[in-house]
């Protein structure tokens, strides 16, 4: 259940609180991604320092390596990676479809070959849940079928049907357990409004702890994504958290918040950091500035750009992170040019701080009806 | 000058204090290596937390990238990499001989091609000093010629002669400056005692701030190295710090300390960390234990070894570093197996803590005449 604290008077944005086994989280929030039980290049101490309240890990990866049984024996995923706050795991479905050689989608699940060693596996809805139960995470996701953004109506319709069948099985498997973990259902339907309606109705009928929109930001045009978000989000159950999977750029997050989305995850801050792209707030009139809301804007900068070679100003003078205040852009430039791992860490800290600060500004914006 | 605090009653080991522009350092000490102005995979904050008192950076690398003029404009190397404590730089000679395509050794210096872009450069003794002056380090090293461990007598003799000529020029260049930085001379001579004697006499005649033994641990057998160390170290000026360049394994450091060496640097802790090899203290009866002195022994462990897959014990339960106390060996194993950058950081922190703790134990050992 989502405890609604405040509805914006300016949009459908909402301020809320989500209770989990490892603490309450203010919504809307952003989840840094710890694909293989580590947020790339930063420590869990640093994540806490940044103010991260929840992270996301990948069932597919952890099932293959080190295996959920080892993590269970280790006392669960929180203990394994030494993170005392909430964790959400995806179902593993998305990675099966994007990383592995798929053998076959059947009613009982999806047969696939590991991208690591080619070994064969069956990921069934029941299996996905038991893995996530073994991991002991706070929020589990139901197994779904996520077609690519360019998929035709018929393929998306079929994906919705299987997603519904699997969702029922996930729920049944969940009911067999102690039910201490939350289970979220995923709405598919691609860019087709009637399929979105149908999928929402089907999934919502199963009464999950929360609902996610899947199958967006998977290659369709941004306008289409916005159209679907605007269409479907307000129809989702009001008393449950709404999670938009895999999104997105800061302006996309703002758009989604305005439609009533509460939860986000995205590889952008961590992945782009690895390529030396830094996100920073700036004034609206700065070159390359992208407006967010109220008087907030942001820009990105490429650490590898020659113009930073002699820029002795701090990476971010306003940062709460000592390393970002004390190291210069020239030094960061040098670290990227010389392939020093510390550069990846500094850029990742910068981008995660930006995304988490963005969410704080968003929550404040809802509070003050500025969003 | 070295302020001698205590001479061991058991060996030629000595406890001392070295004053620099950025603080005093207790000897014997170990310098973590920040080749390109960064100790690989750790931050300067972490180095301070570990108790590092001085680091070493490479003139060759910083001259080529980003260039000493940029670092000078940045306020010097301390400011560039945000490290308030002492820094020593090598002369660049060793890297010219090991990394670049050498064009020619001449009396005026060494012509070489950059390993990065093939550009041609002349590194002269004067140039090496002015670069190190621009970097603004606490301890500069004179440019020397370091022949490989298997070099014949005649080649080593020639190297000694050029090293002496260059040392004179380095000293002259140093005298032209403000002389605030210390300048150390380097003794060559390979495994030939008479050449070591000659080189020591030549270099010591120039009255440097300290003296280094170069040209050891460059491929010669360990017994030969020990023989030379035992032979030459006690003959070095007593009132000046003695620095053994590029060494070594813990037992080698102990051996050298017993001959009267005060300063060490080595890539072992950071480089081996990158391959998942961890240094840890252990009891003498443990499998694979190598005795150090008194009741101290150590062992190394390979994080990638399958046996750590389900070893849920801390990386180092006795560590002062939170990350090493709170993360398990199983997690470290997983990080290495999945190529997560955090694994490199944890292993590096572990090894640097080990080496710095080793030096603390050594200083305590001298204090108590146990070494």
Helix, strand or coil, per DSSP, at residue A23: strand
Of the candidates B42, B45, B74, the beta carbon closest to that of A330 is on B74
Could you say which DSSP state residue A25 is in? E
Structural domain of A280:
273-367
B90 classed as catalytic:
yes
**Tokens (6 digits) for A220:** 């369709």
A69: nearest CA in chain B? B310
- Domain end (from B266, B295, B321): B266
CA dist list (Å): B138 to A8, A49, B76, B362: 59, 34, 11, 24
Q: Are residues B310 and B362 both part of a single domain?
A: yes
Q: What is the pLDDT of residue B67?
A: 98
Which residue, among A154, A155, A158, has the nearest Cα to A166 in the 3D structure? A158
Radius of gyration of chain A (CA): 20
Q: What is the pLDDT of residue B95?
A: 87
Query: Which runs of consecutive H residues, i.e. helices, occur in chain B?
Result: 44-50, 59-64, 68-73, 77-81, 93-99, 125-135, 153-176, 193-204, 222-232, 250-259, 268-274, 322-326, 329-337, 341-367
**Tokens (6 digits) for A143:** 């197994």
CA distance A49 to chain B (A): 14
Q: Are residues A165 and A312 both part of a single domain?
A: no
B36·A338 Cβ contact <8 A: yes
- Domain end (from A246, A265, A284): A265
The sheet that has A87-89: what strands, in order across it?
Answer: A29-31, A263-265, A242-244, A210-213, A182-187, A139-141, A87-89, A55-57, A33-34
CA dist list (Å): B189 to B141, B196, B201: 17, 4, 11
Give the CATH number for residue A155: 3.20.20.105
Query: What mean pLDDT is predicted for residues B2-11?
Result: 97
Report yes or no: B332 and B342 within 8 Å, Cβ to Cβ.
Answer: no
Q: What is the pLDDT of residue A148?
A: 87
Q: Which of residues 197-256 of A touch B (CB under 8 A)?
A: none
Q: Are residues A115 and A193 both part of a single domain?
A: yes
Which is the catalytic residue, given B117, B265, B311, B318? Answer: B265
Q: pLDDT per residue over B191-246, tens digit each?
A: 999 999 999 999 999 999 999 999 999 989 999 999 999 999 999 999 999 999 99
Phi and psi torsions of A264, nearest 5°: -140, 150
Q: pLDDT per residue over B60-92, tens digit each?
A: 999 999 999 999 999 999 999 999 999 999 999
- Domain end (from A265, A299, A331): A265
Name the helix (H) or strand (E) containing A277. Answer: strand A277-282
Cα separation, B187 vs B213, in Å, equals 5
Backbone φ/ψ region at B343: left (φ over 0), alpha (ψ -120 to 50), beta: alpha
Q: Are residues B225 and B314 both part of a single domain?
A: no
Q: pLDDT per residue over A98-117, tens digit each?
A: 887 777 888 899 999 998 99
Q: pLDDT per residue over A303-340, tens digit each?
A: 999 999 999 999 999 999 999 999 999 999 999 999 99
Lowest-confidence segment of A202-211, A249-258, B140-149 by average pLDDT: B140-149
Q: What is the pLDDT of residue B179?
A: 81
Interchain contact B24–A (C-beta under 8 A):
no
Tokens 């969702």 belong to residue: A167
Could you say which DSSP state residue A328 is in? B
Q: Following DSSP, what letter does each residue of B89-158 receive, concatenated? A: E--SHHHHHHHSEEEEEETTEEEEE-TTT--EEEE-HHHHHHHHHHHT-SEEE-------TT--HHHHHH
Beta bridge mates, B314: B328
Report yes or no: A131 and A109 within 8 Å, Cβ to Cβ.
Answer: no
Q: Are residues B314 and B175 both part of a single domain?
A: no
Q: Are residues A355 and A246 both part of a single domain?
A: no
CA dist list (Å): B325 to A283, B338, B358: 43, 21, 18
Q: pLDDT per residue over B263-287, tens digit each?
A: 999 999 999 999 999 999 999 999 9
Q: Are residues B257 and B281 both part of a single domain?
A: no
Q: Are residues A180 and A51 both part of a single domain?
A: yes
Q: Are residues A125 and A162 both part of a single domain?
A: yes
Query: Cβ contacts of residue B168 below 8 Å, gap of 6+?
Result: B206
Write down the number of H helices and E strands in chain A: 14, 18
The mean pLDDT of chain A is 96
- Confidence grade of residue A149 (pLDDT, cut at 50, 70, 90): confident
- Confidence grade of residue A178 (pLDDT, cut at 50, 70, 90): confident
pLDDT at B331 over 80: yes
Cα separation, B131 vs B154, in Å, equals 31
Report yes or no: B202 and B194 within 8 Å, Cβ to Cβ.
Answer: no
B338: nearest CA in chain A? A36
Question: Chain centroid to CA B253: how far?
Answer: 11
Query: Cβ contacts of residue B15 below 8 Å, gap of 6+?
Result: B4, B5, B6, B7, B8, B26, B27, B28, B363, B366, B367
β-pairing, B139-141 vs B277-282, is unpaired
Q: What is the pLDDT of residue A331?
A: 98
Beta bridge mates, B112: B102, B121
Which is the catalytic residue, given A45, A161, A265, A285? Answer: A265
Q: Are residues A233 and A123 both part of a single domain?
A: yes
Of the candidates A37, A74, A331, the beta carbon closest to that of B81 is on A331
pLDDT at B322 over 90: yes
Query: What mean pLDDT is predicted for residues B333-362?
Result: 98
Q: Are residues A160 and A286 both part of a single domain?
A: no
Q: What is the pLDDT of residue A327?
A: 98
- Confidence grade of residue A95 (pLDDT, cut at 50, 70, 90): confident
Beta bridge mates, B282: B297
**Tokens (6 digits) for B248:** 């070594």
- Confidence grade of residue B177 (pLDDT, cut at 50, 70, 90): confident
pLDDT at B94 over 80: yes
pTM: 0.97
Query: What mean pLDDT is predicted for residues A163-185?
Result: 94
**Tokens (6 digits) for A14:** 């909402």
B68: nearest CA in chain A? A310
Of the candidates B42, B331, B337, the beta carbon closest to that of A80 is on B331
In chain B, how many domains are there? Answer: 2
CA atoms within 13 Å, Cβ hemisphere of A76: 16
Query: Cβ contacts of residue B270 below 8 Å, gap of 6+?
Result: B32, B33, B39, B40, B41, B348, B351, B352
Name the helix (H) or strand (E) containing A17. Answer: strand A14-20
B45·A345 Cβ contact <8 A: no
Query: Which runs of consecutive H residues, i.e. helices, occur in chain A?
Result: 44-50, 59-64, 68-73, 77-81, 93-99, 125-135, 153-176, 193-204, 222-232, 250-259, 268-274, 322-326, 329-337, 341-367
Q: Are residues B56 and B125 both part of a single domain?
A: yes
| Residues from chain A contacting residue B342 (CB–CB below 8 Å) | 38, 40-43
**Tokens (6 digits) for A174:** 């969940």
Helix, strand or coil, per DSSP, at residue B297: strand
| Residues from chain B contacting residue A36 (CB–CB below 8 Å) | 334, 338, 340
A328: nearest CA in chain B? B80
| Residues from chain A contacting residue B117 (CB–CB below 8 Å) | none
């Amino acid at each position: 259940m989502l405890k609604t604290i405040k509805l914006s008077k300016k949009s459908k944005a909402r301020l809320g609180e989500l209770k989990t086994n490892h603490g309450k989280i203010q919504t809307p929030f952003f989840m840094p991604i710890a694909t293989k039980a580590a947020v790339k290049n930063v420590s869990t101490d640093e994540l806490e320092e940044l103010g991260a309240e929840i992270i996301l890990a990948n069932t597919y990866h952890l099932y293959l390596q080190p295996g959920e049984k080892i993590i269970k024996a280790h006392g669960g995923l929180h203990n394994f990676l030494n993170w005392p706050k909430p964790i959400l795991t995806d179902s593993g479905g998305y990675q099966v479809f994007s990383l592995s050689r798929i053998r076959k989608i059947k009613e009982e699940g999806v047969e696939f070959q590991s991208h690591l060693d080619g070994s064969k596996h069956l990921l069934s809805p029941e299996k996905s849940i038991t893995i996530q139960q073994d991991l002991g995470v706070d929020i589990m996701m139901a197994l779904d079928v996520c077609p690519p953004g360019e998929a035709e109506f018929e393929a998306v319709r079929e994906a919705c049907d299987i997603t519904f069948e699997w969702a029922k099985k996930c729920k049944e498997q969940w009911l067999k357990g102690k039910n201490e973990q939350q289970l979220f259902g995923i709405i598919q339907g691609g860019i087709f409004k009637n399929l979105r309606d149908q999928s929402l109705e089907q999934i919502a009928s199963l009464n999950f702890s929360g609902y996610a929109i899947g199958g967006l930001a998977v290659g369709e045009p941004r306008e289409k994504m916005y159209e679907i978000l605007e269409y479907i989000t307000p129809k989702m159950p009001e008393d449950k958290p709404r999670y938009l999977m895999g999104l997105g750029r800061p302006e996309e997050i703002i758009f989604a918040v305005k439609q009533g989305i509460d939860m986000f995850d995205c590889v952008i801050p961590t992945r782009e950091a690895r390529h030396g792209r830094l996100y920073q707030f700036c004034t609206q009139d700065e070159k390359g500035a992208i407006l967010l809301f109220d008087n907030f804007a942001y820009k990105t900068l490429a650490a590898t750009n020659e113009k930073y070679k002699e820029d002795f100003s701090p990476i971010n003078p306003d940062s709460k992170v000592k390393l970002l205040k004390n190291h210069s852009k020239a030094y960061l430039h040098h670290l990227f040019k010389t392939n020093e791992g510390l550069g990846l860490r500094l850029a990742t800290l910068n981008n995660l701080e930006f995304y988490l600060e963005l969410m704080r500004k968003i929550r404040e914006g809802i509070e003050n009806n500025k969003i």
